[in-house]
Structure 1
Amino acid sequence: MIPGMYFDWTIVLIIIGGVIASIASANVTRTFNKYSKYTTEKRMTGTQVAEYILQYSGITNVRVERIAGNLTDHYDPTNKVLRLSDATADSTSIAAIGVAAHECGHAVQDAQGYFFMTLRQKIVPIVNIGSNFSWPILIMGAIAGFNETLINIGIILFASTLIFQLVTLPVEFDASNRALKIMEEGNILTASELPYARKTLRAAAMTYVAAAIAGALSLLRVLILFGGRSRD
């Protein structure tokens, strides 16, 4: 029988993962909104801070651009572009400065060839294949009488997403640590402001932890549904 044609209790694992991810997402939004109300003493905008940190770090091949949205900030290592969202670019709040500095942390990682960031970039093509073809292959394997080869290929492809999420964790935590260090050394934030920036970045980092937990639960579900089946 193909999974999904009967009551699937393992869907509980997906629900648990979704709840954890939702809690983490709500927490980062709440934390960002809270510290968005705190204007920094130096009143530098997110864009100004990003440009300052890039110059401070000796990075001259990365440009800063504005992107629509809220918390859509990211660093594009392929095109060497640091994109700041509407909520960050022109804001002088502690939360916005922390986010801008964090994205600069990724630019510094890229410039210095940080191992985990390089690894993450290299496995992206595999992850894209896995996200598109893992379930079709698993279903074909089930239809073919739980063909061991197809099932194993599907599981490996599905697992690539979790591997990507696990590799992402040190990338994100390291970027935040770099950001906090630069903000302190460059006197971008005062001693009293740094703890608030740290809380903002910690909340953001926990969304990646939650995503990894949800990914692990999804993989566990796949292993339960397909891994324990024997060939007919």
Structure 2
Amino acid sequence: MFPFFFDSTFLLLLPALFLAIWAQMKVKGAFHRYSQVASRRNLTAGQAARILLDRFGLSGVPVGMVPGELTDHYDPRAKSLSLSQSVYNSTSIAAIGVAAHEVGHAVQDLKAYAPLRLRNAIVPVANIGSGLAFPLFFIGLIMRAPALMNVGILVFLGVVVFHLVTLPVEFDASSKALRLLGETQILAPDEIGGARAVLNAAALTYVAATVMAAAQLLRLVLLRGMVGGRDD
């Protein structure tokens, strides 16, 4: 077998890696394209977010601006919505679509959407797992300690579960966003397609992350099996 960092199981990661690269290209391309198209109502993304939040009685949820690009997020602990600098003051279809997506998360929080609550609950486990799983596993591999490898696999399983739970959360937020933009006429019917293209491209990045996590888990399991086969 090749050394563990160049072993043949690494080939399992290549399709997921290519998918991740393609997804990033898609989201950047879609956002760039529709960030050049101003919405007819000329509302900024910050204003659109405020209108949508108020529609659900979420006037207490502030809409702030954070540095960075595509750093937009809703914080369920602080009950606050943050838009990136490139989104907050923009009147583009892309920016409004992103803002509406984050409002979708706020609405999920308001309605106690079960997948969102589950994701929030396992965030600490996923954070710990992403930092510890591989060191534990590969130390176990080097030391030929199957028990330590098993711990690494179990810890990383939490990361995979987090990614799986994230998918319905993100898809539902986008679905809510597009529906709300149409209902409030913040975007005209012929503008909704642009917002949909941006949000669909963004969803691909979550799919790619899930596929990569699953491929990593499969790789760890296969490596564990090889070690177990030699020890038997």
Task: Report what 1:229 is aligned to.
Answer: 227
Amino acid at match of 1:153: V
Question: 1-side partners of 2:2 and 2:117: how far apart?
Answer: 39
**Mapping of 1:95-114 within 5 angstroms?**
95-114=94-113
Structure 1 SS opposite 2:83: strand
| 2:193 is aligned with 1:192 | no
Question: 1-side partners of 2:136 and 2:60: how far apart?
Answer: 42
- Is the 8 Å Cα contact of residues 2 and 142 (structure 1) preserved in structure 2? no
Amino acid at match of 1:101: A
Q: CA deviation at 1:159?
A: 1.7
Task: Report what 2:210 is aligned to.
Answer: 212
Q: CA deviation at 1:79?
A: 1.2
Task: Report what 2:166 is aligned to.
Answer: 168
- Is the 8 Å Cα contact of residues 34 and 93 (structure 2) preserved in structure 1? yes
Task: Report what 2:175 is aligned to.
Answer: 177
TM-score by length of 1: 0.93
- Is the 8 Å Cα contact of residues 2 and 139 (structure 1) preserved in structure 2? no
Structure 1 SS opposite 2:8: coil
Most deviating of 91-100 and 154-163: 154-163
Q: CA deviation at 1:95?
A: 0.6
Task: Report what 1:85 is aligned to.
Answer: 84
Q: CA deviation at 1:190?
A: 0.8
Q: CA deviation at 1:146?
A: 3.3
Question: 2-side partners of 1:19 and 1:2: how far apart?
Answer: 23
Gaps of 5+ in 2: none
Question: 2-side partners of 1:79 and 1:3: how far apart?
Answer: 46
Q: CA deviation at 1:15?
A: 3.2
Question: 2-side partners of 1:28 and 1:2: how far apart?
Answer: 36
- Is the 8 Å Cα contact of residues 141 and 227 (structure 2) preserved in structure 1? no
Considering fraction of residues, name the structure with more helix: 2
Q: CA deviation at 1:145?
A: 3.1
Most deviating of 163-172 and 8-17: 8-17
Alignment root-mean-square deviation, CA: 1.8
Most deviating of 170-179 and 80-89: 80-89
Q: CA deviation at 1:225?
A: 1.1
Q: CA deviation at 1:91?
A: 0.6
| Aligned residues with identical type, % of pairs | 45
Q: CA deviation at 1:14?
A: 2.7
- Is the 8 Å Cα contact of residues 3 and 225 (structure 1) preserved in structure 2? no
Amino acid at match of 1:128: N
Amino acid at match of 1:175: A
- Is the 8 Å Cα contact of residues 37 and 93 (structure 2) preserved in structure 1? yes
- Is the 8 Å Cα contact of residues 2 and 8 (structure 2) preserved in structure 1? no
Q: CA deviation at 1:228?
A: 4.2
Task: Report what 1:4 is aligned to.
Answer: 4
Structure 1 SS opposite 2:81: strand
Query: CA offsets, 1:149-189, max 9 Å, x none?
Result: 32222111112111111100000000001111111111111
Question: 1-side partners of 2:11 and 2:41: how far apart?
Answer: 49
Task: Report what 1:46 is aligned to.
Answer: 45
Question: 1-side partners of 2:213 and 2:142: how far apart?
Answer: 25
Question: 1-side partners of 2:21 and 2:2: how far apart?
Answer: 30
Q: How many residues align?
A: 230
Question: 1-side partners of 2:148 and 2:36: how far apart?
Answer: 53
